[in-house]
Amino acid sequence: MSLHSAVWRVHCSAVDDIALIESALAWLAGDGVELTREKSKSYHGAPQLILEASITKKRDARDAFVRLGKQTLEELLHNGISSHIDENKILHLRIDIDDLVQGRVRMARGVERKMAAKGRFKIESYPGEKPETVIVNLIEECLES
């Protein structure tokens, strides 16, 4: 399978269209998603809402990964995957929120990274396996199908 779980998170301000972002997040996460809303305050005290889509089943996590699309997966391979994986075997991605609400998936770059859908994919790797190799194999498998 290669993935244990996935979580997508978006921090929304008071001026954002919450329903539109929530709909886009649900589409990105796919079936088997649990959507939650949490009210909080930003660093500077402004009210914000944190939308989170949690995917706990391996198959659903893989399907959510595939939903990134061919272009995004190829970009990950081309730019190198190692910088996106932390010491806890979690793959971190940021998807441009403006494109996402229009039904497109594109990696966030530069200033776009501030307002983005933040994805965390828990990699299923065991002793002797490198998480990078597991993800590269998963991407290649997704691109072939």
Q: Which residues pair with 11 in a beta bridge?
A: 50
Q: Which residues pair with 8 in a beta bridge?
A: 53, 119
- Tell me which residue has tokens 């072939």: 144
C-alpha R_g of the chain: 15
pLDDT in tens, 86-121: 999 999 999 999 999 999 999 998 766 678 999 999
From 55, 75, 76, select the one nearest 3 (Cα to Cα). 55
Per the CB < 8 A criterion, the answer to whether 82 and 104 are in contact is no
**Mean pLDDT across 78-85:** 92
pTM: predicted TM-score of the whole model, two decimal places: 0.91
Distance (Å, whole) CA 9 – CA 37 = 10
The total number of structural domains in the chain stands at 1
Of 9-18, 39-48, 102-111, where does the model show the most confidence?
9-18
User: Is residue 103 classed as helix, strand or coil in its secondary structure?
Assistant: coil
The domain that holds 20 is classified in CATH as 3.30.1440.10
Distance (Å, whole) CA 120 – CA 8 = 6
Range of the domain at 21: 3-144
